Amino acid sequence: MEHDKNQPLPVILVTGARGQIGTELVAALRNVYGRKQVVATDLHDATTIPDQQRPYHQLNVLDKDELENLIITYGVTQIYHLAATLSAKGEEAPLKAWHLNMQSLLNILEVAKDHKLNKVFWPSSIAVFGPSTARKVSPQDALLDPQTVYGISKEAGEQWCAYYREHYGLDVRSLRYPGLISYSAPAGGGTTDYAVAIFHEALQNGSYQCYLNPDTALPMMYMNDAVRATLELMNAPAEALKERGAYNIGALSFTPAQLVTELQKHLPGFTISYNTDKRQAIANSWPAGVDDTEARQDWNWAPEYNLAAMTADMLQHLAPVYKSDSNAATVS
Ligand code: SER
């Protein structure tokens, strides 16, 4: 994607910039708009951040005053608010997860309203779905009955975004991300994390113990598609976006067993064992896939990576990282 030269350059603030999505989204945004246009923020100490990854600020997004200072200092026009606690980690300390996920979103929405920002992006998730959703393919307008505090925060967050849009005219846009698979930064605290960890373990040790059953199908997506979806949604004309809440976006739906079969095409010696934990119940409450007809219709969403392409690309990027490791499996 390229910046439309007839439009002024945005000044974008990203929270959770060093997380799994933020790491790649910041790079993609800087590619389009230029490095200095994107202010990265996260909890990490700013002194350790190299020059080519600046501007960067240490920010606890619960600190609304500091958030507001940054908006004013940089003349921020857009926010991508990614900081959150995910599904599995959230269950360990539900009230803490609720506080972080909800209060941070409310801080962002308030600041965006008060400073008349042009646009806000906030990710929702497949975690908004629950047992009453169609198991195979969840429709856009499914009844939402999330079973985790993370999912409840995403459902409530969708409603808050709609509220600010309707009452204050704030242009806030959202996607229900599936499980995201990427190689640049680790996944952190989600139920779908196995689909990232399995690549690292396969290359490092030649085996993996999976915490989900082999036949647990979940909606998944390669990060390249997720980042492109985000940029495309944010650049779509406002009048095209008819969805009041967050858009379903689909790409992949696979089980651990299907991912293993695909991995074994490259790593014939790779072995898997299964030992389920609490994350199995969370996965059981989510659908296997989502119906993304609305996203396809409204802003031409279409994924590019299937299971084979995603697996090959992950291995191509991660294999060199483990190459010097003597236990490492050989990619064929
Ligand atoms: N990947 C997330 C999780 O597993 C779902 O949005 O929590």
What per-residue confidence (pLDDT) applies to 324? 67
Ligand 1 in contact with 101 (CB < 6 A)? Answer: no
Residue 259 lies in a domain: no
Residue 112 lies in a domain: yes
CA distances from 318 to 226, 322, 328, 330 (A): 19, 7, 11, 12
- CA distance linking residue 274 with residue 37, whole number of Å: 46
CA distances from 234 to 22, 135, 252, 316 (A): 15, 30, 22, 30
User: 189 alpha carbon to ligand 1 midpoint, in Å?
Assistant: 8
Cβ neighbours around 15 below 10 Å, total = 26
Q: Which stretches does DSSP call E strand in 38-131?
A: 38-42, 56-58, 78-81, 119-121, 124-125
Residue 291 lies in a domain: no
User: 6 alpha carbon to ligand 1 midpoint, in Å?
Assistant: 37
> With contact defined as beta carbons under 8 Å apart, do 258 and 264 qualify?
no
Nearest in space to 296 (alpha carbons), one of 245, 235, 219, 229: 229
Residue 84 lies in a domain: yes
Residue 332 lies in a domain: no
Residue 302 lies in a domain: no
Cis peptide before 139 (omega within 30 of 0): no
By the 10 Å C-beta count (0-12 exposed, 13-18 middle, 19+ buried), 34 is classed as exposed
CA distances from 39 to 10, 22, 59, 87, 187 (A): 11, 11, 11, 27, 22
What per-residue confidence (pLDDT) applies to 3? 86
Give mean pLDDT, residues 172-179. 98
The DSSP call for residue 102 is I
Strand partners, 12: 38, 78
- CA distance linking residue 321 with residue 318, whole number of Å: 5
Ligand 1 in contact with 179 (CB < 6 A)? Answer: yes
User: Given the structure tokens 């779908």, which residue do they identify?
Assistant: 192
Tokens for 234, please give them: 């944010």
Q: How many domains does the chain have?
A: 1
CA distances from 124 to 35, 47, 105, 128, 150 (A): 26, 31, 11, 8, 10
Instruction: Say if strands 175-177 and 218-222 run parallel, antiparallel, or are unpaired.
Output: unpaired
Checking if the pLDDT of 327 tops 80, the result is no
Residue 256 lies in a domain: no
CATH classification at residue 60:
3.40.50.720
Please state, for a pLDDT cut of 90, what percent of the chain lies above it: 91
Q: What are the residue numbers of the active site?
A: 150
pLDDT, one tens digit per residue, over 234-277 is 999 999 999 988 999 999 999 999 999 999 999 999 999 999 99
pLDDT, one tens digit per residue, over 176-189 is 999 999 999 988 89
pLDDT, one tens digit per residue, over 221-235 is 999 999 999 999 999
Ligand 1 atom at minimum distance from 177 CA: 6
Residue 70 domain boundaries: 12-177+242-248
Q: Which of 23-27, 201-205, 250-254, 322-326 has the lowest mean pLDDT?
A: 322-326
Checking if the pLDDT of 214 tops 90, the result is yes
Ligand 1 in contact with 203 (CB < 6 A)? Answer: no
Residue 5 lies in a domain: no
